[in-house]
Amino acid sequence: MKLSNLFFAICSGLFVMNANAADITIFYSPTCPHCHHARDFISNTLIYEYSDLKVSEVNVANVDNRQAFVDALFKCGYNKGGVPVLVIGEKCFQGYSDASQNDLRAAIEVDLTAEQKSAAASNKAEMAKDKNKFIASHSDRKNAVSEKDTQKKNNK
């Protein structure tokens, strides 16, 4: 009986760990034009298509965020520190172009249910009709993007 409880606890823990697997962490530099394009796409499109998506932005120009960036580069297997680096679940992307948008969507959708994927497709279709109207009616989604402040966490 205890072994089954342990198995259940482990499985439950794995589910909780993967519950936010589609969330995005973007490592960026304020002076990088590709970073600006990636951040614009995420904050003006993806957070509206995927209503549960959370985005953490990490400014690599901030010295306090450098170790987190180095850790991400190591996790992703990247030898160079070019930005942007986007971490979506277990997938990593270095650099950004409009051609990568569907790859980013695919990485987000890996752990989504059929219902969540359907909702995202519906949101995307509604945005195609009138993006400004859709964004205005879902203004609460702006809260989905937050700046990660490593310094605050280190001082606690």
pTM over 0.75: yes
Strand partners, 91: 88
Cα dist from 15 to 37, 92, 129, whole Å? 33, 21, 36
Report pLDDT digits (tens) over 95-116.
999 999 999 999 999 989 999 9
How is domain 21-143 classified at the architecture level of CATH?
3-Layer(aba) Sandwich (3.40)
Sheet holding 145-147, edge to edge: 91-94, 85-88, 24-28, 55-59, 145-147
Report pLDDT digits (tens) over 113-139.
999 999 999 999 999 999 999 999 999
Q: Given this model, what pLDDT does residue 22 score? A: 74
Looking up tokens 């850790």 gives 71
Report pLDDT digits (tens) over 19-49.
444 799 999 999 999 999 999 999 999 999 9
Contacts of 65 (CB under 8 A, 6+ apart): 27, 58, 59, 148, 150
Q: Where are the domains of the chain?
A: 21-143
Strands 145-147 and 55-59: parallel
